[in-house]
Amino acid sequence: MARKLDPGQLVIASHNAGKVREINELLAPFGIGATSAASLALPEPEETADSFAGNALLKARTAAEASGLPALADDSGLEVAALADAPGIYSARWAGPEKDFAKAMAKVEAALAEIGAEDRRARFVCALALAWPDGHAEVFEGEARGSVVFPPRGDRGFGYDPIFLPDGESETFGEMDPARKHALSHRAQAFAKLVAACLE
């Protein structure tokens, strides 16, 4: 049995504004007041684990310990099949310290061109970790399957959204209405599992 989350205060342990916005939109129907890690000036831990779940747990535990509140962290990334699932857990790092995702998307295109790959299959993966100050934690994973397209399309969303075309859709995550992204995304899939386990 997963531990239930009280509708009190929750810290969103992320320094990525795009993610924080999406997580707030997902939390809105549950009446949970969320504070951002940035507004509490929480430290940004080094992501030393070798999996999405491991890094999500590390971020959630650090924030729960520092704030004394339950903390929700998200570790996510883009896996491109022809690139042996790169950039994967290194998705943020491919954008460099300046967080230049135009550069990161161009790197994906160049890496595919370099090996002459025609296979464009890709997926977004998200691990959400919920940690309490006493050390208890729960992790939930979700994925969205699709393909990468070039050139990038659309300026909604964040990160690699402009090159991700979900299976069965005609618009990239960068083009589509945010509500549509929430119906399909890796983050929304993981969140639905969290809701079923910890909020209902």
Ligand X SMILES: O=c1nc[nH]c2c1ncn2[C@H]1C[C@H](O)[C@@H](COP(=O)(O)OP(=O)(O)OP(=O)(O)O)O1
| Contact positions vs ligand X (CB under 6 A) | 14-16, 19, 47, 59, 74-78, 91-92, 124, 157-161, 173, 185, 187
| Binding site residues, Mg ion, CB under 5 A | 92
Q: How far is the CB of 19 from ligand X (least distance, A)?
A: 5
67 contacts which partner out of ligand X, Mg ion, none, CB within 5 to 8 A by kind?
Answer: none
User: How many Å apart are CA 126 and CA 30, to the nearest integer?
Assistant: 20
132 contacts which partner out of Mg ion, ligand X, none, CB within 5 to 8 A by kind?
Answer: none
Measured in degrees and rounded to the nearest 5, phi and psi for residue 184 equal -120, -25
Q: Which is nearer to Mg ion, 19 or 107 (CB)?
A: 19
Which residues on neighbouring strands pair with residue 117, listed in sequence order? none
User: How many Å apart are CA 13 and CA 52, to the nearest integer?
Assistant: 14
Residue in the structure block whose two tokens are 């520092």: 66
Handedness of CA 127, 191, 147, 159 (dihedral sign): negative
Q: Which is nearer to Mg ion, 127 or 176 (CB)?
A: 127
Which element (helix H / strand E) includes 190?
A: helix 186-194
Sequence-ordered alpha helix ranges (H) in 69-148: 101-114
160 is in an annotated binding site: yes
Q: How far is the CB of 142 from ligand X (least distance, A)?
A: 11
User: How many Å apart are CA 76 and CA 89, to the nearest integer?
Assistant: 7
Q: Which is nearer to ligand X, 98 or 200 (CB)?
A: 98
Q: Hey, what are 33's tokens? A: 């007041």
Active site residue 74: no
> Among the options 75, 119, 167, 177, which is catalytic?
75
76 is in an annotated binding site: yes
17 is in an annotated binding site: yes
Query: Could you tell me which residues are annotated as the binding site?
Result: 14-19, 46, 75-76, 158-161, 181, 186-187
- Which residues are part of a known binding site for Mg(2+)? 46, 75
